[in-house]
Amino acid sequence: MTDNIEEHYTESEYNDIFNDWYEIEGARKIKELSRQLRTFFNYKASVIRYRFRSSPNHAKNNTNTTFFTKQQEIELLSHKFIILLKKVKKQEHPLEEGIRALYYENDKTQIKQLLEITEKLSMLLHYFSEESIHNHPRFLKFVVSVAINICLVKKCMNVLFREFYEELKMNYLGLEGELESLLEETKDVKNKKPKKQLEEMLTL
């Protein structure tokens, strides 16, 4: 009888701990997905602001120090991100297969590196989504391209939310195409060189 009570108490205690963990982890995931959506909608709003800007002279020299510092940070991290993805990508195979292979091979070092740099970039993406980035359309397009790559990685590393990140990636691809069309209309020769440099940074 005593044994049964003790076993019941242990199982109940285990269930309480599991339920607490599940609630905390569930809340954390919901918060993360909510932030991802908010980031996307902020960028969508930035594209709309750029489309309906009052002046064609969009290249304003009003970048504050924090913005410029964060811009340098995301460009440097993006460069490292792409170098890491190139190492992960198996020759003549999709990037997704290379990322999945990290788990099959239990390559904890590269998995940790990829997770860390992806999360840092995600936070920087969110930062820029809440800034007046529509005043910097070339950089806006670069950031959207970074978001596409991040969604691809998160899709592979978060199996439970695979469809969510696939859908998010498709939405960012739509934004990228929209921006490309808008930037072609402006034919801003002055900014073509930095645009090329930024896009080359993201080429796998």
Query: pTM (2 decimals)?
Result: 0.78
Count of Cβ atoms closer than 10 Å to residue 125 Cβ: 21
Token digits for 100?
């999945």
SS3 105: coil
Is 174 a domain residue?
yes
Looking at the predicted structure, is the pLDDT value of residue 23 above 90?
no
Residues 42-56: what's their mean pLDDT?
88
pLDDT tens track for 90-116: 777 788 888 888 888 888 899 999 999
In a domain, 60, yes or no: no
Total domains present in the chain: 1
Sequence-distant (≥ 6) Cβ neighbours of residue 200 within 8 angstroms: none
Q: Per the domain annotation, does 177 fall within a domain?
A: yes
Report if residue 152 sits inside a domain.
yes
Question: For residues 183 and 11, which has the higher predicted lDDT (pLDDT)?
Answer: 183
State which residues form the domain around 30: 2-53+65-201
Whether residue 93 is contained in a domain is answered as yes
pLDDT at 2: 46
* DSSP secondary structure of 38-70: HHHHHHHHHHHHHHT-S-S----S---HHHHHH
Q: Interhelix angle for 65-88 vs 95-104, to 10°?
A: 70
